[in-house]
Amino acid sequence: MSLFKELKRRNVFKVAIAYVVTAWLVLQVADVVLNNVEAPDWVFHVIMLLLAIGFPFAVIFAWAFELTPEGLKRDHEVDRSQSVAHKTGRTLDYLIIAVLALALGYFAWDKFIVHPKREAALLESVAEQQASAADTSIGEKSIAVLPFVNLSSDPEQEFFSDGISEELLNVLAQFPDLRVAARTSSFQFKGQTQDIADIADTLNVAHVLEGSVRKSGNTVRITAQLIKADDGFHLWSKTYDRELTDIFAIQDEISGAIGQALRLKLALDDHSGLRPAVIEAANPEAYEAYLRGRQLINRRGRESIEEAVRALEKALRLDANFAPAHAQLAIATALLLQSPSSYGDLPLNEVIARATPHIEKAEALAPDLADVHGAKAILALNLLDNEATLAHAERALELNPSYIDAMNWRYLALAALGRYQEQRNAMERILEADPLSIIGRLNYVNFLGWDRRFEEGHAMADDLIAAYPWAGYVTHGNLAAGWEGDLAGALYWLLRAYAADPTDTLSNAYLVRVFLYTGLFEEARRVHPYFEFQVDLAVGNQEAAVEKARRQWRADPGNAAVINDYANTLYFAGLNEEAAARYDEVLA
């Protein structure tokens, strides 16, 4: 007799089916009962484990024994002519039918009676949570400062109106119980006529401060008004008329006065020791160049950052003692490091040589300037000193709690240190403070990919395209290549990113990787000279790959990204001892 027929004769299949169906029904009942008695989760897990362990024993028992009128006997002890296995089989059939009927009844009861009630309760709970979130997550003590509108006929006064908003952001950020939307998000509404309620909803704030600046002769009129977003009610407004003698003193005075007025209106904690904003250039043109440099840095991308360097160098030619411009120039320089995670092609030793004097000068002029510690953080990040990055970023956030770049560098340091939950919390903090942040959204897509929330990730990339096409293309490409495995989609988006900025190292690194995955080796070779060693490695030309990687390592010996690339090349070429020495260098 074949094994299959013997298994069938001994009712092994029917026992297995009966066991599985009965176990499923037991688990459903246990789930309902244990939830109602609020039993700990481990109880259900134990029941499930015991049922799983019992399955092979039930099958073995069915094979080895037969239930007879005289009781349980081993199968080989039963005379085949006297066997009642077929009767036992029919009994099992009835049992399976009965259990299936019960299971079907349970399913119908759960689907058509319990589930609608549970769904209604869940919807009610979600609605309550959303209402609660609207009260607590937004909170009454939250505000966005929109760019003050320049109503003067002279466009040169634009820097002054922007400066008022900048100073207000600095002042309001010092109130520990007030959440202030970051500049990079609030300034994206400059020149727009969008409804205040929509702006507040986008920025997740309860209040919006807007204003205008009008210059007439040597007099300037500054109007500010605080609006409650949910009903559009004007909680406070005031007009200030001043003689236009020292514009920075006026900015400082008006922002301080408005800050104190808002403290009273929003019932903020008294924080009389507000640190004065250290943004005071010798002339308006230097300040305007500084603002442009900051704006370009926030856009990211190699072309934008290189243009930011030129703007900040102009600011320093006009005012050599302008501390914020020194600090921002150091940051821009650090962002141009030659690295797949950065934006330029500067060797590390050149980045250090260029950035360090500006950090030292800024610190000597303004030791409590948040940007000084931000510059130290990004430089430490380039050196792979994650603990120092964390310390400098946290100091920057003490001085300016709304400092988005410092939040981002803190996030990257936490990621490198493997502190996953803190990393996730840091990312949520970035998007809460700056929901329109480019770099925040670029990084957050990795979380969405990890959670397989691809639609949300692509929707975020679409939003980025509307304002910053390059960033949106890179985000789509990263999500498609890194998480979905959609190489065709990744190629489409990364080629668009390459067309938008062919010099950017980050998008180039992604594009080369996709070309190599798809076997387009010559196309990969043409993207950027730096990545040629990867192409040689992919086509099996290990000697050429090692030589090119070694040449880049010698040209930039302190750059951890370059050392790591060289070490990987040595490893894949089978030069394990030399690879180990280079890996030790990275970890040192």
Domain total of the chain:
3
261 plus 301 within the same structural domain: no
Task: Report residue 567: phi and psi, to 5°.
Answer: -60, -45
Indicate whether 585 pLDDT > 80. no
260 plus 158 within the same structural domain: yes
Q: Determine contact, residues 180/400, Cβ cutoff 8 Å.
A: no
154 plus 261 within the same structural domain: yes
The pLDDT value given to residue 173 = 74
Q: Which of 312, 345, 367 is the last residue of a domain?
A: 367
In this prediction, residue 139 has a pLDDT band, given cuts at 50, 70 and 90, of: low
pLDDT digit string (tens) for 395-413?
999 888 878 889 989 988 9
Q: Which of 366, 364, 391, 365 lies closest to 376, judged by CA?
A: 391
245 plus 296 within the same structural domain: no
In this prediction, residue 131 has a pLDDT band, given cuts at 50, 70 and 90, of: very low
The pLDDT value given to residue 108 = 62
**Averaged pLDDT, 269-277:** 51
In this prediction, residue 297 has a pLDDT band, given cuts at 50, 70 and 90, of: confident
pLDDT digit string (tens) for 10-61?
677 777 777 877 887 787 777 777 766 667 777 778 888 888 888 888 777 7
98 falls within a domain:
yes
Q: Is the pTM of this model over 0.75?
A: no
Domain containing residue 349: 278-367
252 falls within a domain:
yes
Cα angle at 112 between 108 and 113, to 5 degrees?
Answer: 105
Greater model confidence, 274 or 70: 70
119 plus 149 within the same structural domain: no
Q: Which of 99, 133, 167 is the last residue of a domain?
A: 133
The pLDDT value given to residue 269 = 66
391 falls within a domain:
no
64 plus 41 within the same structural domain: yes
What amino acid is encoded at 255 in this protein? Answer: S
70 falls within a domain:
yes
Beta bridge partners of 242: 220
pLDDT digit string (tens) for 452-469?
888 888 888 888 887 778
Sole residue written with tokens 């009389």: 272
Lookup: tokens for 147: 């760019």
476 falls within a domain:
no
213 plus 241 within the same structural domain: yes
Q: Which of 71, 101, 133 is the last residue of a domain?
A: 133
Average pLDDT value for the chain: 79
Calculate what percentage of the chain has a pLDDT beyond 70. 80
The pLDDT value given to residue 87 = 65
Taking the C-alpha atoms of residue 322 and residue 425, their distance in angstroms, rounded to an integer, is 35
148 plus 252 within the same structural domain: yes
The pLDDT value given to residue 76 = 59
Cα angle at 521 between 515 and 524, to 5 degrees?
Answer: 55
**Averaged pLDDT, 263-276:** 61
In this prediction, residue 88 has a pLDDT band, given cuts at 50, 70 and 90, of: low
190 falls within a domain:
yes
148 plus 28 within the same structural domain: no
58 falls within a domain:
yes
The pLDDT value given to residue 326 = 96
19 plus 111 within the same structural domain: yes
pLDDT digit string (tens) for 521-573?
888 888 888 889 999 988 888 899 999 999 988 888 777 778 888 898 998 88
Q: What is the DSSP letter of 588?
A: -
Taking CA atoms, 141 is separated from 128, 170, 171, 397, 498, in Å, by: 21, 16, 15, 19, 43
Q: Which has the minimum average pLDDT: 78-92, 111-125, 322-336, 379-393?
A: 111-125
CATH at 296: 1.25.40
pLDDT digit string (tens) for 77-86?
655 555 555 6
**Averaged pLDDT, 495-502:** 86
The pLDDT value given to residue 380 = 92
The pLDDT value given to residue 390 = 94
506 falls within a domain:
no
CATH at 183: 3.40.50.10610
Taking the C-alpha atoms of residue 316 and residue 332, their distance in angstroms, rounded to an integer, is 14
238 plus 306 within the same structural domain: no
The pLDDT value given to residue 323 = 92
Indicate whether 134 pLDDT > 50. no
106 plus 164 within the same structural domain: no
Beta bridge partners of 42: none
